[in-house]
Structure formats: C-alpha cells, structure tokens
Chain A
C-alpha cells in the first residue's frame, strides 16, 4: 500500500460521486443523492489517509529530520486543493444545503479535475525542501489559503447554477415548481444565500492565509509585504470578494452581478494559485514543478 494507490482510489471515488450527483439531477432520487454524498465522503477519507501516508513516506525518503507535510510542490498542492474542496463541500452540504444536493454536480468536477491533473501529468517525486520553505509557517499558510480557495471554488459552482437558473426562473409563470433539470437546482434565493455562505468561509480564510504569509515573509525575509506578484494577486482576489460581500446589500449589485463577481473572483483565485507561478515570476516554489 502506498499513497499513490490511495490517491488513485480517491480519484475514482470523486469521479463516482460526480456521476452520482449528475444522476441525481436526472433521476430526482434521494437515494442517488445520498450515495453521491457517501462516495464523496469515502473519497475524502481515503484521501486524508493518502495525505497522511505521503507525509509518512517523506520521512522514509528524506530522512527523519527532513520529512514534511505534503504541501510543497505543484502536485501536492493540486491534490490538497481537491481535498480542501471536498472537505469544505461536505461540511457545507451537511450544514446548509442537505435538501439541495444538486450543488454537488457543480462542485465535484472541480475537485475531480484537480485530482486528475495531479495524478496524470504532474511530477510526484518527494524532493527535499530549500531552506526558505523549511518553516512551520508553510503549513499554516498553505492550509488557510487552500480552505479559502475551496470556499471560492464552491461559490463558483453555485454561481454558475445561479446564472443558469435565474433567467428561466424569471420567465417561469404560475405557482407550480419548475420542472426539468433546472427544477432540480435549488431556488435562486437559496443559491444566492449559499453562494454568500461559501464566500463567508472563503474570505476570512483567505485573509488568514494572506496574514500568515505576511508573517512568514517578515520572519524569513524582513518584509511582510513586497508587492510580489503572488502577494498582489492574493490581494486582487481579496478585493474582488470584499466587493462581493458589499454588493449583496447594495441596490443594483445583488443577484446577477454578485454571481458574476463570484465567478470573476474564482478566476482571479485560479490565476493567483496557478497563473502567477506558471506565467509570471516570483517567490513561490512550485513554479518549476
């Protein structure tokens, strides 16, 4: 048994879960929805074990003094991204939208894509860390940022659903509930609410991620803020979601515009996470990974 095998099982579980969530929209069967949730949960548990195992493996490969949490290169980060998304999604589903599980069909694909990319085309080797990354701040910084990213990913899926549904819902007449696929989506009022809730989780975590990053930079390099592209992009993301949070209680900015802000926010998040390293230059390590 090794972590690679467990990560493959995770990918299969997330794939099954995604298919089941889509099947739920088609079949309207609650049993299917419950199975979808259970598949996601099974994947999450397996992945948690896999992350622990990779952590353990790092000690075997790098020696007892140089093992580290699996959060240090591009492969480890996309896998952790998937883990954060599914983790935050499961908590939110349980707490906020048990009756509206169709949301899973728009969230699980993001986690699945992330896993597939990591498993199929990224370098999985466990390499020693350069001195700059040998710090406990690394763990706090990465975990908080990724929970933030996960909240935004979920909000993105929800916003897509909102925009798909709102046009039809406005045209929809009569007291009967809407039929068809869109009828299985939560009402736009609910989508708007859970979009806000996902960002309510993401925004403080991103804030914490930026602050832990600033603290780390201060203790390692002497400046808590240097307008490095990664820092600047995290601030751009922060600005967009701050605008979102205020848009909700501003006339003319709620509804569609807020949903679009959430989508742009996630676009900026993805650029901050990947684009900066792959396109621009900077301090963050997995650029070459």
Chain B
C-alpha cells in the first residue's frame, strides 16, 4: 500500500465515522444520559449552596467537571457540536443518492423490476401498441400522475411518480435542528435576559442581566404608572396582576401598555414580561379621629410610624396594619401619645367596624378608612434576535417528520411491446414507505388500467 492510499484510507475512515448512524445513536443516547445530571444537580447556584448540599470535595469535583452549569459546559457543547457534525455529514453522504431521484428519474423499468416487483400486472391484448399506450397513459394521467413516455429497444416505456418530495422529509428534519441551534447561538451572542423591579411611579433606563455580568442601556425609559393585583375571592391566590407601563423617549411618551402575565410589552426588539411583584415601602394609612369633647372629626393620612398631631398637645402614631385581621378585614394598631411624650396602651381599630372605637370612651376615638400599599413590579426583560430563526426551525421540525413518516414516493412503470400479433403490457409500482397502503392503491389503479386496456367500459368509444 502506498503512502497516498494509506492517507486516503485514513480520511475515508474518519469520514465514515462522522457519517455513521451508529455514531448518531450513540450521541443521542449520550446526550440523553448526560442531560440527566443537570436535572439532579441544581444549576447556577452559589458556591455556598453547593457546599451545603454536597460538601466541599464534591463541590470541587463538580466545578472541575462543569456540572454546576453543565448545559453551557465545554463537554456538553462539544457533544452537541459533534451531533450537528454527524447530522450534516450523514445528510451530505446520503443526499446525492436522493438527488438522483429528482435529476435522473428511472424512467425505463428494468426487466428485473417488472418481473420481481411485488406490485405488478401483465396484460396481453390484440391491439396495436400505440392504442394500448394511449389507454394506459390516459388512465395513469387521470388516476395517478402524469406519465412520461420513453422509447427504447423497440419498446415503449411509461413512467409516473407522485410524492417525490417526501424523500426530503428527513433532510428537512435534520436541517431544522441546525437552524434551531443557529437561532439559539444568535440569541446567546446578541441578546440578553435581565430582571428589573420598578416601584409604582418609578422608572428605569438600564437593566442588569440575570447573571449580573452586564448593565444594559435600553435606549429608552420605562415607567410603571400603576400596579394592581387581584385575588380570587376569600383567598390569597392571585387571580391576575398587571402593570401599567409607559415607554418614554427623550421624556416623551411613545408607547403604553397594561401588561399581565402571559401578555408582555414589545418595544424596539425588547420584551417586558410581568413576572413578580412585592410591596415597595410601607403603606399610607388613612383614618378619622373624632375629638369626643368637641365632636370635631379630622381625617389623617400617614405612613406607618409617623406621628400625627391631635388637639391639646396629644398625638397619635400607627405602628402596624394588616389587610386581614383574623377574618375581620383590614385593621390597624395605634398609640395615643400624651403631651408629656408617654405612649398609651395600643388600640386596634378595624376598618369594617368604624363605630367600635367610640365605645372605648376616651377623649379621642379612631376609625380606619383604608390604606394604600405601594408595590413594585418585577419584570423579566429579554432581547432575543435569534428567536424568529428558532421558530422557523421549529416549523420545519414539525413539517419534516410529518413528511418523512406519513408521505411516500410512489412510482409506477409500464412497458408496452409487440409480442407476435398481440401487445403485451407490463406494469409495476413501488413506494419507498407504507408498502401495504400502496399495495391497495396499486391494485385499485390496476383494475382501472385493465378495464381501460381491454376497453371494457361501455361508455368508451368502440
């Protein structure tokens, strides 16, 4: 063996390795087994959390094996890359053979095909070949697909085919995977995922990515005018939460939308998703104070732990509130403060029972009117310029397998020749998938061919 032959042999073997279906199966199984790791070991947690869960030495092992962020680890990406290479090589290897069906359809049936096909028909009839040809061709044209005529070796051949595109189903599926991956890579390189909180009335112009690595200038301002949360009756189960967002450019309002979970705001390629919420600072509590000596009623609004001034040097301070006290509804706790600065015992006042506090019989009685809890809204902010490529890949990934599994390339050949003073017609057909289904359709079609060839139909010209 010469040196070049050896080299040839070696590259061939590498090529065969990357083309092999066995490699595909092994890679698919490797991917599935290794993927399990990241579902058991929490991903992207803090070092302290890992050490608490698994101990110091295991944590060091995990970081060395990149198990703590395994889906972006070198070895997992390498597996995915190898999988893509395998996919591409397989497709390159097999495509020329598939392309041949398009470029050089086998229009002339070989004797072997006509003799050995499991779907075949032979008829002999005392008519001229041209008459028989017309009858067969018309039947095929009408009931199957347009038939092409080829004359060779003194015989007339017909060829008709349907569903040749179904041979591309598996290529479409394979390409779709590559397209999805390209979209994902573009999204990772040129997009970002961030989280931001905006208190009611506040606004932001920058967001920090979820991994904390980048602070991104949005190029516009987003203000949250209002946040609402509704609960299912008599529960703490949120029914809906919504933020009224306004987009401003150079201080001018350019777009506004009320976003809820499952209905985000799109602006300039950046999307804002309603994700969470929470209380922003203390509530402002509103209540009435009646001076029982003069009968004068005054209304106060004050944040928690802020003193309000009452007549004669007295003052009051609300120290706590709740939106539901033991099923009696909203309530607040307050102290009256004497002119000398001493706090009196706490008083609880329920919003739903405004007459209650009068019974205490003190100089001042209180009635709670309500409270306003300011919220912040929690938003996921994302930009993904690759997402439409991913969707395109996904659509192909749905169509591809459907074509590959449920459609087939069906071909029918006919050979017509003079045989003494009769004409012999031989027909054969095959499908590259779903043979039983094709066999039924073929038999049905052959009945029609036979009727046409023998001219048995009474409506046809005699």
Closest to B183 in A: A224
Q: Verify if B6 is at the interface (C-beta below 8 Å from A).
A: no
Is A224 touching B387 in the complex (CB atoms < 8 A)? yes
Q: Verify if A56 is at the interface (C-beta below 8 Å from B).
A: no
Chain B 356-400 interface 0/1 with A at a Cβ cutoff of 8 Å (1 = within) = 000000000000000000000000111010010011001001100
What residues of chain B lie closer than 8 Å to A214, measured between beta carbons? 390, 394
Cβ contact of A128, chosen from B39, B232, B263, B397, cutoff 8 A: B232
Cβ contact of B262, chosen from A134, A232, A246, A280, cutoff 8 A: A134
Closest to A131 in B: B261
Q: Verify if A200 is at the interface (C-beta below 8 Å from B).
A: yes
**Chain B contact residues (Cβ within 8 angstroms of A): what range?**
35 or more
Q: Verify if A94 is at the interface (C-beta below 8 Å from B).
A: no
**Chain A contact residues (Cβ within 8 angstroms of B): what range?**
35 or more
Min Cβ gap A214→B in Å is 7
Is B43 touching A220 in the complex (CB atoms < 8 A)? no
Is B271 touching A246 in the complex (CB atoms < 8 A)? no
Cβ contact of B238, chosen from A130, A223, A250, A253, cutoff 8 A: A130
Q: Quick one: which of B257-276 are within 8 Å of A by CB?
A: 260-264, 271, 273-275
Cβ contact of A220, chosen from B32, B261, B387, B394, cutoff 8 A: B261
Is A131 touching B241 in the complex (CB atoms < 8 A)? yes
Is A240 touching B29 in the complex (CB atoms < 8 A)? yes
Q: Verify if A34 is at the interface (C-beta below 8 Å from B).
A: no
CA A239 to CA B380, docked complex, whole Å? 30
Is B35 touching A246 in the complex (CB atoms < 8 A)? no
What residues of chain B lie closer than 8 Å to A276, measured between beta carbons? 39
Is B25 touching A243 in the complex (CB atoms < 8 A)? yes
Q: Verify if B22 is at the interface (C-beta below 8 Å from A).
A: yes
Is B397 touching A135 in the complex (CB atoms < 8 A)? no
What residues of chain A lie closer than 8 Å to B54, measured between beta carbons? none
Is A246 touching B24 in the complex (CB atoms < 8 A)? yes
Cβ contact of B193, chosen from A134, A223, A250, cutoff 8 A: A223
Is B405 touching A200 in the complex (CB atoms < 8 A)? yes
Min Cβ gap A200→B in Å is 5
CA A247 to CA B20, docked complex, whole Å? 12
Cβ contact of B398, chosen from A131, A208, A223, A236, cutoff 8 A: A208
Q: Quick one: which of A176-232 are within 8 Å of B by CB?
A: 200, 203-204, 207-208, 211, 214-215, 218-225, 227, 229, 232
Is A243 touching B405 in the complex (CB atoms < 8 A)? no
Q: What are 7 inter-chain pairs, A to B, with CB distance below 8 A?
A: A211-B398, A219-B263, A222-B384, A224-B384, A232-B35, A239-B28, A243-B25
